Amino acid sequence: MLILALAVLLLWAVPFYLLPVFRGDREIMAQFYLGPVRFSAYGLLFALAVIVGYALSRKLLGRAGVDRRHADDALPWVVVGGLLGARLYHVLFSLPYYREHWLETLAVYRGGLAIYGALFGGLVGLYLYARYRKLGFLKTLDVAAVALPLAQSIGRWGNFFNQEAFGLPTALPWRLYVPPAARPAGYLEESFFHPAFLYESLWNLGVFFVVLSVFRRVYPGDSVRPGLVAGVYLVLYSVGRFLIEDLRLDSFYINGIKVDQITALAAILLGGVLIWRSYAHTNLAVG
| Angle CA 156–159–160, to nearest 5 | 100
Span 163-184, mean pLDDT? 95
The answer to whether residues 237 and 204 touch, using CB atoms and an 8 Å cutoff, is: yes
Which one is predicted more confidently, 59 or 34? 59
The CA distance from 36 to 164, in Å, is 27
pLDDT for residue 99: 73
Rounded to 5 degrees, what are φ and ψ at 42?
-60, -50
Sorted by sequence, the CB contacts under 8 Å of residue 190 that are 6+ apart come out as 169, 178, 183
Entry field: residues in the chain: 287
More confident residue, 49 or 9: 49
How far, in Å, CA of 204 to CA of 233, rounded?
Answer: 10
Q: Tell me what the mean pLDDT of segment 255-271 comes to.
A: 95
pLDDT exceeds 70 at position 9: no
Percent of the chain with pLDDT over 70: 88
pLDDT of residue 92: 84
CA distance 231 to 269: 9
pTM over 0.85: yes
Reply yes or no on whether the pLDDT at 5 is more than 80. no
Top-confidence residue, 282 or 211: 211
- From the list 83, 62, 80, 84, the residue with the least C-alpha distance to 71 is 62
What does the mean pLDDT of the chain come to? 88
Which alpha helices (H) appear in 93-185, and where do they start and end?
95-100, 115-132, 137-155, 157-161
Q: Is the pLDDT of residue 264 over 90?
A: yes
Mean pLDDT across the stretch 1-5? Answer: 63
The pLDDT tens digits of the residues spanning 86-128 come to: 888 888 877 777 777 676 677 665 667 788 999 999 999 999 9
- Nearest Cα to Cα of residue 270 among 219, 233, 217: 233
Q: State residue 72's pLDDT score.
A: 94
Average pLDDT on 26-55 reads 87
Contact 196, 204 (CB under 8 A): no
**Domain residue limits, the chain:** 39-286
